[in-house]
Structures are given as C-alpha cells and as structure tokens.
Amino acid sequence: MTAYRRPGDVIVDRYRLIDLLNEARGARFWLAWDNILARHVAVHLISEDDPRADELRAAARRSARLLDPRLLRVLDIGTIAGNCYVVNEWGEGVSLNNMLAEGPLAPRRAAWLIGEVSETIAAAHASGVAHGRLVPENVLIDERGSVKVIGFAVDAALHGLPEGRTSTEVVDLAGLLYAALTGKWPGISTSSVKPAPQEHGRALRPRQVRAGVPRILDTLCDEVLSPYPGPHDHGYDSAAAIATALMEYVGDPAAMAEAEAASRRGNTHPRLPRIEALVLAPDPVPEPDPEPEPEPEPEPTPEPEPPARPSPAEETVAGAPVFYDDSGDVGWVSPSPAPPPPPPPPFEEQPARPLFAPDPPEGRAVRTPRPGAEQDSAQYWPWETGTGAVPPAPDDTPGEDDSVPGRNWMRTAWIIAASLLILVAMIYAFNRGRDTDGASDDDEDSRATTTTSARAVLKPVGISDLDPYGDPPEENSDRAPLAIDGDAATAWQTSGYDQNFGPGGLKPGVGLVVDLGEEKQVGSAVATVLNDPTAAELYVVGGDSAPASVDDLDPVASATSSQGRLVLKPGDAATGRWVVLWLTSVPNDGSYRGRVAEIQVRE
C-alpha cells in the first residue's frame, strides 16, 4: 500500500502533494497541485479500512450536489492503493477564528458576514444537506472579500460525527454571530476562539460581554442560544429566518460586500505561486579535474610596476563561476588587483618636550614682560596720571607665552559658560515672575485641564446607550459607537423631547455606558458635546455586567459643559469596568436634545 506521505507523491497521476497542512487521528490534509487543470487543490486522505472512510465518501457525494459560489466544492473522490481521498477547491483568505484573534467585529460587519453564511446554509437545508460542524474555523473571507463556507459535510465526517441536523445548525449560526460580536465562542464543538462566559449554565447575553451590541442582534443570539423559552419569540427557528433578519439589519448587503472587497485590494499577502509540470534535470556528468601546472621557480622580487589592463576575455567572463582546484570550490574570475603602493616613509621622531622651562642664558632675567607691556617698571602707576599719554599698542608678534597651548581657548570656554548660566537664570526669573503676577482662578482651571489631558487615555472596548425609562429601552443605540470613534465630526444624539430631563420631564435622563474591558482606575472623563449647556453625572461601576439603571448608584462627579467641553473629575479616583455618562440636562434647539461627539476616559 502506498502511504502518500511525502511531498511530490502523485495521486491517480493527477494530484501532486505539495505540503502537509494537518495530520490528526489518521487523517491527513494536503495542499496539492492539479497537473491537468494547473491549479491548487485541497486533498483529504485516510486509510480505506478506517471506520470513517464510508461516511467520508457519502459526505463528499452529498456536498457535491450543492451549487453555491460561497462553497468550496468537492471536485473528486476515490480510492487508490488502500487510501480514500477527497479533493476540494482550494481557497486563500482569513478564517473567522483568525479574524477574532485581533478582536470582535463591528456589529454591521458581523451581521453581514453571518448573514452570508446563513443564506448558504439555508440553501443547503432546502436541498436536504447539512454542514455538520459550523465553527469559526470553517468560515473564510477570501482575498476578494467574498465569504466562503469550507468543510461542508466532509469536516464532520473526518471528526467522526454523524450526519448533521438542520435544527442543530440554527443554533450554530447564532453561535457564529455571538462569536463575531464578542470574540467568544458559545458553541459545543471545539474551536480556538475563547469560550463565552456563562452564568447558571447558559452563556451571557452579547450585551453583557461587550457594550455596544445592538439590541436586535443581542435578542437574536439570546433567543436561539438560550435553553429556556423567553417572553418574546421572533421566529428565529430556521437558517432562512436568521438570514432574513440579519440582512434586514444590514440594509444594503451589496455595499458591505463592496466595502469588504475594497479593504482587501491592498492586501500584500503573497499568493501561492503557480507550479509548472515537474521536470527532473539529468545528473551532470563530472568533468575530469585539470592537471595542476608545475609551480615556477621563485624569482627575485622585481620593483612594483603598474598593473596591466585585463584582457577582453577576462572582462567578458567576470563574475562567472569557474572550478579551479581539486576541492570543488567555486571561485570568481575578476581582473587581478593592482599591487599595493609602497608604504609611506616613517615620520620623523619629534624631540621630547622638557618638563620644565630651560634656564635663561646668563645675564638675562628669569621672566620677561609680555609684548606691548610697559618696559619701565619704575614708571608704572595703576591710576591715571593726568598726562593724557596713550599707552603703546601691543605688538602682534607672538611671544614665548603665546606658545603655551590651551590657555586662550580655556579662557574663551569659561566666558561662554558663564554667559549661558546668566542667560538661563534670567529666563527662569522672568518666567517665575510672570507666573506669579498672572495667577488667577482661570489659570488654575487651565492648569488643571492641562494636567487632566496629560494623563493616559484608557482605550474602551465598547459602548452602549442607557435608557431604562424608554419603551423600548434604547436611545439611538446604533449611533452610540460614534462617541468613541475618534472623529469629533460624528456624534451620538438623544431623541428630541418637548421637556428637559428632570422631575418635571418625561424621564430623569439618558446616558452612555463605556466598557473598559476590565477593572481600571478612572481619574476623569472628558466629553465633547455639540451644544451648550449640557449637564451630566459620572458613574463608575464594577462587575461583569453593564448597569441597567443608575437608580441605585452614586455619582462620583457632575459638571456642566462650557464651550463644548464637559470635564468630570471625581474627588478620589474611582475603580470599575463600566463608566456611565448620564445626561441630566440638555439644551433646547427647537427640541431638548443632547449630542455627544467624543468621550475620553483617563487614568
């Protein structure tokens, strides 16, 4: 029996194995090359006597009945030399589990992606075929931005699972949506995506795991995944119903597909190279080694002469490999280098400098005055004599004292250093005096704001609206992410009200909940609002679930906006995962409405 375990082995004179991608439980998954159609294919191989072989062939036949561009089709099945093989189309792209390793997807993108998968599964269910193992690893976005479902029926057979049921796959579709929204996997089948957190034996709702999940998507996941019947039933009992709900939420699937394709156009990930037919070159015939030439007798070393210009033949073969000795090493032919120039003559030895000045000749003074100085010391007087005599100009001829090295530049360096110290002291004194003279309450507020802005900004992982008094309890939830998108030109806004918030209004307030992902120390929160005056309170809450109301909470800070800026700073730093910006008063622009462009939470 041929094992087909080595790259280069050819199955049925057509599929040449290239790279073993995975091997588990006796099954091998290969990247291969179709020698007839000149394209890459995927090949599954198991032993013919493996208990899964019959189910693998049956699953491949079921999958081959489906015609959908979002499926990687089965191209060939068969047995050879005791092996069962299945050949599928090859797809290049990024699987959903690898995408989620970088973080959860945006809600609209997640809905579009799982909506495409749901339409594919719905078409398969209409033909009586189930996938059998819907996990993030089997959902792929190729390099053109198209969604592909891989391993249809075949993957379940290779894992020893029975033929899939359509009812089970409805739950799997909701699990895929849950994973795309939160980055956590609530399904039963194994996946590299981290499992979803649970409470009382059931996965937490997506909004409890990640803030900012739209309620319609949160409700869909909760209704399908929950083992207990809920108060509402939206009829998410089939893949077609889930596909319809998701595509209605997306609104324009074609635009999402174009955006995904556009994001992939700049992908520089290298594609697999085209493989031509394998042609083995004949073994080279070894050439006999040339006989070594006799070494010439040593001659007297002649005087160095300029090197001769290399011959035209040498120039033509420059850089070509040539074998020149018995060892088989490769040399490189190049013109002979010019002989090195003769070394320069040695420097003359400098006379040693004496440690002490030599004694002057007999009859001369030990020290002499500087050039230009008064020669008659008896006539020297440090004050003016009133004679108006002009002292003689100093002679520029260098004397003995000028030959002492380093004296002049040391003096210059000391002068420059002293000047710099005086200049720094003057600048410091000037600034100190200006700060003291100009201090005011406004300056203190400015310095406090500068200190606040210098603190590190905590990066949120999500955001959601908070409107416990609404019916339904939501306040433009789809626009909440605009408050943390880094663009001050976009904003989350409340609905328009006839009365302001407060005891006499329709409701006491509405707000936004920022999810920091984990417990962190909060030193302040700064909100950019588009209309003044906007009053708000700040709450910092711990726990795994986002707060549903502020009734039982105590605010840590409150403030009113000025010039579009709302700064809320607790007296003492608070610690928590959820930061609530609760609007208690909004301005009237024809209706009472609040607009929050950006929220920054700082340490």
Q: What is the pLDDT of residues 286-327, one digit of tens each?
A: 555 555 555 555 555 444 444 444 443 333 333 333 333 333
Percent of the chain with pLDDT over 90: 38
Handedness of CA 452, 454, 459, 463 (dihedral sign): positive
Q: What is the model's pLDDT at position 576?
A: 93
The DSSP call for residue 462 is E
H and E: helices and strands count for the chain = 12, 23
Cα–Cα distance for residue pair 585/500, rounded to 1 Å: 6
Residue range 519-545: mean pLDDT, rounded: 92
Q: What is the model's pLDDT at position 70?
A: 92
Q: Partners of 86 in the beta sheet?
A: 44, 77
For residues 160 and 565, the model is more confident at: 565
Q: What is the model's pLDDT at position 23?
A: 84
Whether the bond between 195 and the residue before it is cis, its omega within 30 degrees of 0, is no
Q: Using 50, 70 and 90 to split pLDDT, how confident is the model at 328?
A: very low
Q: What is the model's pLDDT at position 383?
A: 42
- Rounded to whole angstroms, the maximal C-alpha distance in the chain is 130
Q: What is the model's pLDDT at position 126?
A: 92
- Name residue 516's amino acid: L
Of 426, 456, 467, nearest to 601 by C-alpha is 456
| Residue 326 structure tokens | 């018995």
Cα–Cα distance for residue pair 89/150, rounded to 1 Å: 9
Average model confidence (pLDDT) for the chain? Answer: 78
Q: Within 10 Å of residue 335's Cβ, how many Cβ atoms?
A: 13
The DSSP call for residue 183 is S
Residue range 8-14: mean pLDDT, rounded: 91
Looking at the predicted structure, is the pLDDT value of residue 375 above 60? no
| Residue 399 structure tokens | 């004397």
What DSSP string runs through 221-271? HHHHH-SS--S------SHHHHHHHHHHHHS-HHHHHHHHHHHHHT--PPP
Using DSSP, state whether 453 is helix, strand or coil: helix
Of 591, 416, 602, nearest to 526 by C-alpha is 602
What is each CA distance from 519 to 183, 192, 208, 293, in whole angstroms?
Answer: 19, 26, 15, 83
Q: Using 50, 70 and 90 to split pLDDT, how confident is the model at 533?
A: very high
Contact 107, 181 (CB under 8 A): yes
Looking at the predicted structure, is the pLDDT value of residue 224 above 80? yes
Q: What is the model's pLDDT at position 91?
A: 86
Collect all residues with Cβ–Cβ distance below 8 Å to 444 and sequence separation of at least 6.
none
Using DSSP, state whether 177 is helix, strand or coil: helix
Handedness of CA 16, 19, 22, 23 (dihedral sign): positive
Whether the bond between 371 and the residue before it is cis, its omega within 30 degrees of 0, is no
> What are the chain's domains?
10-89 (3.30.200.20), 93-265 (1.10.510.10), 452-602 (2.60.120.260)
Dihedral pair phi/psi, residue 526, rounded to 5°: -120, 125
For the stretch 21-27, contacts whose Cβ atoms lie closer than 8 Å and that sit 24 or more positions apart, written own/partner, are 25/160, 26/50, 27/52, 27/158
Q: Is 528 exposed, middle or buried (0-12, 13-18, 19+ CB in 10 A)?
A: middle
pLDDT, tens digit, 9 for 90 and up, residues 539-598: 999 988 899 889 888 899 999 999 999 999 998 888 999 999 999 999 988 888 999 999
Collect all residues with Cβ–Cβ distance below 8 Å to 53 and sequence separation of at least 6.
46, 47, 84
Residue range 53-69: mean pLDDT, rounded: 90
pLDDT, tens digit, 9 for 90 and up, residues 235-284: 788 999 999 999 999 988 888 888 888 877 655 444 555 554 443 334 44
| Residue 444 structure tokens | 């203190």
Cα–Cα distance for residue pair 213/225, rounded to 1 Å: 16
Q: Is the pTM of this model over 0.85?
A: no
For residues 372 and 331, the model is more confident at: 372
Quick one: CA torsion of 400, 403, 409, 414, rounded to 10 degrees? -40
Contact 560, 596 (CB under 8 A): no
Percent of the chain with pLDDT over 70: 70
Handedness of CA 382, 385, 388, 390 (dihedral sign): negative
Cα–Cα distance for residue pair 131/140, rounded to 1 Å: 15
Q: In 115-258, at which residue ranges do the beta strands (DSSP E only) sit?
A: 139-142, 147-149, 198-199, 202-203
Contact 128, 73 (CB under 8 A): no
pLDDT, tens digit, 9 for 90 and up, residues 454-473: 568 898 999 999 998 887 78
Of 228, 247, 15, nearest to 108 by C-alpha is 247
Q: Using 50, 70 and 90 to split pLDDT, how confident is the model at 363?
A: low
What DSSP string runs through 499-519? S-SSTTSSSS-EEEEEEEEEE
Q: Is 39 exposed, middle or buried (0-12, 13-18, 19+ CB in 10 A)?
A: middle
Looking at the predicted structure, is the pLDDT value of residue 384 above 70? no
Q: What is the model's pLDDT at position 307?
A: 43
| Residue 72 structure tokens | 């990687």
